């Protein structure tokens, strides 16, 4: 079975993958075409975990744009994967909104948890980007809070490095 995820990554994207996978016959595999500008961190992590727990039966095909969460899904997935020609990528630090009061303090415990989670995600992302083989200049761009874009050729290099990361 083949499905296409060509939207912002969300819980809907995860449910689309889960429902398609659950409808497979035992001998069938799932092929996912991924073309996305990014999306929600929690949904991205759920998709990566699901793919990595079902690597034998899932193939991931990067198609056109793999930005933000899409870049992470593609690079962190350990299943059989390939890039279609002219696919580009973009990586940056994850971001989220947190509410602060008039004194500049986090407004409630929920926002403190989200803030701490975001800080943790940044540290994990930086470690992953280093293992992936980003150059010093690419890392500098991301650390500066900017978007780092990758050509198809660079995406191929990074993808081959991604299989070496445990």
Tell me, what's the pLDDT at 95?
62
Residue-level pLDDT at 8: 80
How many other CB atoms are there within 10 angstroms of residue 57's CB atom?
Answer: 15
Give the whole-angstrom CA distance, residue 62 versus residue 159: 10
Q: Which two tokens stand for residue 65?
A: 């744009």
pLDDT in tens, the chain (166 residues): 877 787 888 787 888 888 898 888 988 999 999 998 888 888 888 999 999 999 999 999 999 999 998 999 999 999 999 999 989 999 988 765 555 667 766 666 766 676 677 777 777 888 889 999 999 999 999 999 899 999 999 999 999 877 676 6
Specify the pTM. Answer: 0.84
Cα distances (Å, whole numbers) of residue 150 to 15, 48, 65, 147, 154 = 29, 21, 10, 10, 6
What is the distance between the alpha carbons of residues 65 and 48, in angstroms, rounded to a whole number?
17
Q: How far apart (Å, rounded) are the C-alpha atoms in residues 122 and 146?
A: 13
pLDDT on residue 103:
72
Rounded Cα gap, residues 79 and 73, in angstroms: 11
Q: What is the pLDDT of residue 153?
A: 95
Architecture (CATH level 2) of domain 2-162: Alpha-Beta Complex (3.90)
């Amino acid at each position: 079975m083949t499905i296409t995820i060509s939207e912002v990554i969300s819980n809907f994207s995860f449910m689309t993958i889960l429902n398609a996978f659950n409808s497979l016959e035992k001998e069938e595999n799932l092929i996912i075409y991924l073309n996305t500008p990014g999306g929600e961190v929690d949904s991205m992590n759920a998709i990566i975990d699901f793919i990595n727990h079902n690597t034998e039966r899932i193939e991931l095909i990067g198609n056109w744009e793999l930005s933000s969460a899409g870049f992470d899904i593609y690079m962190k997935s350990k299943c059989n994967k390939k890039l279609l020609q002219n696919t580009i990528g973009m990586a940056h630090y994850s971001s989220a909104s947190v509410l602060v009061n008039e004194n500049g303090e986090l407004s409630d415990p929920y926002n403190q948890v989200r803030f701490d989670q975001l800080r943790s995600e940044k540290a994990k992302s930086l470690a992953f980007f280093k293992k992936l083989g980003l150059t010093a200049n690419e890392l500098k761009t991301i650390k500066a809070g900017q978007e780092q874009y990758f050509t198809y050729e660079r995406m191929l290099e990074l993808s081959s490095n991604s299989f070496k990361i445990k």
